[in-house]
Each structure stands twice: as structure tokens, then as C-alpha cells.
Chain A
Amino acid sequence: MTDEIAPAASGVERTKLWDPFLRGFHWLLAVVVVGGWTLGEFGPDVMTLHFWCGYTVAGLLAFRVVWGFIGPRPARFTELISGPRTFWAYARHLFERHPSYWPGHNPMGALAVIAMLAILAAQIGTGLISDPDDFINVGPLASSVASEIRHAAVGWHHLGAIAVLGLIMLHIGFVLFYRLWKHEDLVRPMLSGWKLVRKNSDPH
């Protein structure tokens, strides 16, 4: 475990970046979102499992919001928000063929994280109030909204699914880009928690 990410460059150190709860959150979310998405598109007509995936995503999002306030520093929402200057400074170096050694969510990735959390929250919302008129897959809160809303929600939920797929593709695409182009492995740190980052790094 240690030698595979031994410091390769000077000014770089190996540090415990992602805490166990955040890593658990990430991988559980990945499983449940992919599972829920697949069940939604191709699963059985009685969508009980899809519903349970949705409830689990809701629980995970609730945890993530709490963790964004009380969790360790790399998990905090304050770390996700950077000014336009930091953003462009990072973007300028994006295509350079060396690792970023960024200590946490980089300013561009942070936007994707925010987008992902927001779109998943929206999916939970539209799913809960959806009424597809099939009497078996009616969202538990559908009866508390107007009939036009609960019927339109089915369409929104569908558009949301396309957006989720797009974000997942973008996410995997960038992880591959970092691995192949920038020679930086982002998957292992999300498994072990350890990452190579700049020394005395301060993301601000």
C-alpha cells in the first residue's frame, strides 16, 4: 500500500485525505445510484427495489450534507467553493501532463460534485411525488401535490435520469483522463484514503 504511492516528486507528501465515512459514502452512493438507475430503466415493472435505492440515496445525501458541515476538512462544503480566480488558475493547468497533487476536491471537480448532489436531490424530490398512473409505482408523496405536478414529475424524473447518466460519464471520463493523461490515480485514494498532495498545501 505504501510503496505504490511513494512520493514521486519533491514538494509532495503522502497524506490521509479522505476519511472512512466519506469513502463509504462515495462507494455506497455509486452502487445505489447505478443500481437504482439500471432498475429504473430496465428493472421489473413492480419497482420496489428502485424505490429502496431512492430512499438509500436520500439517506446518503442527508449524511453528506451533515458531513459537509461537521466532517473533516476535505469533506467540508467550504472546501468545495472556490473563487473564479482559483478555478481559472486550476483550469489553465488542467491539460498539463503531470499530476495535480491537489489536496481534496479540485475547483473544477467541486462543481461536478455540487451538480451531482443537486441533481440527485432533485431526483429524490421528483421520484417521491411521481405518479405514472400505474397504481403500483406511485411515489409516497404523490398524493400531497396537485395532479398536474405529480404527472409532470414523471417526465422530470426521466430527464433527471439522463442528467445523472451524463454526470456519471463525465465523472468516469475525468477520472480516466487524470489516470491516463495526467498520470494521477484518483481511484486508489478514494479506496484507501491516502493521496499524494503538495506539501503545506492550502487549497485557498
Chain B
Amino acid sequence: MRYLIAALVLVSSSSVLGDPIKDAVEARQGYFIMLSTNMHPLSAMAKGELDYDEAAAAMYGSNIEVLSQYTLPMHFPKGSSTGELGKATGAKAKIWTNFEDFNQKFADFQKAAEGAGESVKGGKNNVGPVVQKIGKTCKACHDEYRVKND
């Protein structure tokens, strides 16, 4: 009886959880959309395509800081590369053979995002360096671990 209950619990919980791989891909892609939603206006302000607004810039910067504190690599479980999922993801299989380096790349981003909310205050010219500092860490990881021809 005990085993039967355990089995039922397992079956029902797994159906509640759904497909963990699919969830992971959706979670990380959602994360990147949130990140880019905050990076884009900062980049546009730095280029002068969008009028500088200190309060807005500070909000975007702080949002990026907050996002950077989230443990993104947990949404990269084994079995979620382009090898298994095809075009549903841009994650190269080599992420999992270099997971330490992958984590390091995320740590670099976290470091670059530190203080972003404050640093973008005080004028348009303060935005560019922040965008560059963070953008470099985006590029470093994309170059290594994201497929180019999606």
C-alpha cells in the first residue's frame, strides 16, 4: 500500500511538473528576454536613439543587477542542448563539457552588472560604459556557447 501511494505520488507529481527540459528552456529564454528588455533601452540611450532619462536608466540598470543575482545556470540541465532539442534552443552541447567555464562566464556577467543601477545615473555619457562592460560578457558567452545560425 505504501509503495502504491509512493508510486501514485511520483506519477502525479511528474505530471504536475511537466517536462523539466522544456521548462528549463522556456525559463532561460524568458530570462534572456527580460535581460534584453532592460539592456535595449540603455543601449539606445547610450547611442542617443532614445532620450536619456535618469530615473528610467536607473530602473533598467537595477533590474539588470537583480536579474544577474539569479542563478541562471540552473536552467541549463543536461539534455537541453541543440543536439537534443534542435532549433528550440541555441545552447551548444559544449556548454556541458565546459560547465565550469560556462559558470565562470555567468559570474563575469554578474560582476559586470554590479552597481549598474547607480552607474547609469548622472548623464547620458555614463550609460555607454555600463552597456559596454555588460555587453562584453554577453558576447564572450555567445561566441563560445550559442549557435550562430539559428
Contact = CB atoms under 8 A, between A and B. Distances in A.
Contact of B134 (A135, A152, A155): A135
A46 B46 CA distance: 14
- The majority secondary structure among interface residues of chain B is helix
A132 B39 CA distance: 13
Interface stretch (B15-23, B73-81, B98-106, B142-150): B142-150
A183 to B, nearest CB: 44
Interface size class of A (residues with CB under 8 A): 10 to 19
Contacts of A152: 149-150
A141 interface: no
- The majority secondary structure among interface residues of chain A is loop
Nearest to A143: B49
A151 to B, nearest CB: 6
Contacts of B138: 133-136
Given A45-B136, A45-B140, A133 B150 contact: no
A134 B40 contact: no
A152 B139 CA distance: 16
Contacts of A137: 135, 139
B39 A135 contact: yes
B146 to A, nearest CB: 8
A134 B149 contact: no
A136 B139 contact: yes
A182 B118 CA distance: 67
Interface string A28-53: 00000000000000000110000000
A196 interface: no
Contacts of A136: 43, 131-132, 135-136, 138-139
A159 B149 CA distance: 9
A133 B136 CA distance: 11
Interface string B36-69: 1001101100000000000000000000000000
Contact of A135 (B40, B148, B149, B150): B40
26 contacts: A45-B135, A45-B136, A45-B139, A45-B140, A46-B135, A46-B136, A132-B139, A133-B36, A133-B138, A134-B135, A134-B136, A135-B36, A135-B39, A135-B40, A135-B42, A135-B131, A135-B134, A136-B132, A136-B138, A136-B139, A137-B139, A155-B148, A155-B149, A155-B150, A156-B149, A159-B149
